[in-house]
Structure 1
């Protein structure tokens, strides 16, 4: 039977195995998600429906792309 200490070590090692450039890509993804969400909300408050639609579309596309990428990498499909 495995102890809980081994599980924590496995998680820590799994985090350490990711290359540095993958962390940079995820940080950039989160940054752009925040930027486009903020732009969408700001455009809605300024009554600019075209701009909010475009920014919202970009936000949703980035969000879905990030979720699919995370799922594929998590399940070792890629």
Structure 2
């Protein structure tokens, strides 16, 4: 795990919290992305209702197979 994880509050300038870790601009950018990704993964996401979920005609489309990627490659 990166030493910057948890050390970068969102909203602060990139160079401020990560300079002590000796990171380049690209390294800071990657560390910030990693921090944001971890926060998203830790966030609790609740059910968001939509009228189409109750439509029997939409069941196959909603619960159907995962569509192929646009570029034809697996993610």
Normalised to the residue count of structure 2, the TM-score between the two structures is: 0.34
> In proportion to residue count, which structure has more helix?
1
Q: Which has the larger radius of gyration?
A: 2
